[in-house]
Chains A and B, each alone.
Chain A
């Protein structure tokens, strides 16, 4: 069974440009999460989809970030326009439906974003 995949693995863009990151969760996983790790800091939650619906987007930094999950399958995270502080590694994770709160998340390899 394929794991969580993310594309691209690396992206280098200039300040003001737009970047779109993609995450393909494990097939059948309703829950999809985005996290980010800025250099030297901890991994931080961005948002959570249940199927195509945003369950929790409390971690999204600002309105330059837009996440979608059309059809409840893959998800995209767009940053427009990118700023220097957006640099970091963006992780995607997926999990099956809740079962009394027992929810193991499987992580993708991450996308390393560098904004120059």
Chain B
């Protein structure tokens, strides 16, 4: 069975700081990779996704993620955060072959101080 690990449960940083959230997965086959975000009071929404091709993926709101196959990692980055990036971030994977159910990491709560 696949599993997803997010390294940090909580991150606190100031505006303009750089953000990097770690995500590692465990699965023997090929996967699709996702980052979802849940802003306070809102529903989960897709931040970015990787299916194939260029391992550096750009998403909405200035976020990007890099798939490193040899490390089974899909870390999320943003060079300069804003207060509005305060949210909970979820890494998720789905096996390409099996119905696309998502396996989520535990989530990382990010608080950006103004």
Contacts and interface: CB of A to CB of B under 8 A. Distances in A.
Contacts of A106: 46
B86 interface: no
Given A103-B32, A108-B43, A110-B43, A42 B106 contact: yes
Interface of B is mostly: loop
Nearest to A33: B101
Given A91-B44, A103-B32, A56 B106 contact: no
Contact of B46 (A45, A59, A104): A104
Contacts of A102: 32, 51
B99 interface: yes
Question: Which of B42, B44, B103 counts the most A-chain CB atoms under 10 A from its CB?
Answer: B44
B94 interface: yes
Contact of A107 (B43, B49, B100): B43
- Bin the interface of chain A by size: 20 to 34
A43 B104 contact: yes
Contact of B102 (A35, A41, A55): A35
A109 B41 CA distance: 9
B97 interface: yes
Contacts of A98: 100
A95 interface: yes
Interface residues of B, number: 25
A107 B36 contact: yes
B110 to A, nearest CB: 17
A20 interface: no
Contacts of B96: 100-101
Interface string B60-77: 000000000000000000
Contacts of B106: 41-42
B103 A45 contact: yes
Interface of B: 4, 32, 36, 42-46, 49, 51, 90, 92, 94, 96-107
6 contacts: A42-B107, A48-B99, A56-B98, A100-B51, A104-B46, A107-B43
Given A42-B107, A105-B100, 13 more contacts: A3-B43, A4-B43, A31-B100, A41-B106, A48-B101, A56-B99, A100-B51, A101-B51, A101-B94, A101-B96, A101-B97, A101-B100, A102-B32
